Amino acid sequence: MKIATLRFGELDVPEDKMVEFPKGILGFEQFQKYVILQNEDSEPFKWMQSIEDPNLAFVIANPAFFFPNYKIEMHIRELNEINVAESSCVETYVIVTIPKDISQMSANLQGPLLINTDDNLGKQVVFVNSRYTIRHLIMDELKKKSGKNKTEPLALQI
């Protein structure tokens, strides 16, 4: 399937690479189909490009790269919404905001994205009473890591 994008021009996206978010992303509920674009040169960041709107794309990243102690606690009912039978088929991402002042780059840890990689179904989980916020500074965390470059597995508690 060919899709038009503002940032990447026209892309040929295999149908099996499309990820559907049945309830959309908070604030963008009307757009439910995305593709994850990755480039080794931009790791650990990826783009989540809307298939339905060429102007809509999010920078995302695995939160474990920056926040090794990040833990997601949720009810199994929420995972059932994306057909998850076991946590091994779930990838977790957070939306990253990159302003002009790169020192203020932040990750939304309060609203992670969970993707069932077996069925290509996604869900944004929004924590209401959480220690996480929508704006955790990434550069501060990188300074704390002091050169450690290993991505730890993300803890998912059900």
Reading the block at residue 125, the tokens are: 């989980």
* pLDDT at residue 115 in the model: 95
What's the structural domain count of the chain?
1
Q: Give the separation between CA 73 and CA 77, rounded to whole angstroms.
A: 12
Is the pLDDT at 151 greater than 70? The verdict is no
Which burial class, exposed, middle or buried, applies to 87 when counting CB atoms under 10 A from its CB (0-12, 13-18, 19+)?
middle
Average pLDDT, the chain: 87
| pLDDT given at position 150 | 46
- pTM, 2 dp: 0.85
Assign residue 138 the CATH number of its domain: 2.30.290.10
Q: Which residue has the higher pLDDT, 32 or 153?
A: 32
Average pLDDT of span 87-111: 91
Please tell me which residue, 88 or 118, carries the higher pLDDT value. 118
**Interatomic CA distance for residues 43 and 50, integer angstroms:** 20
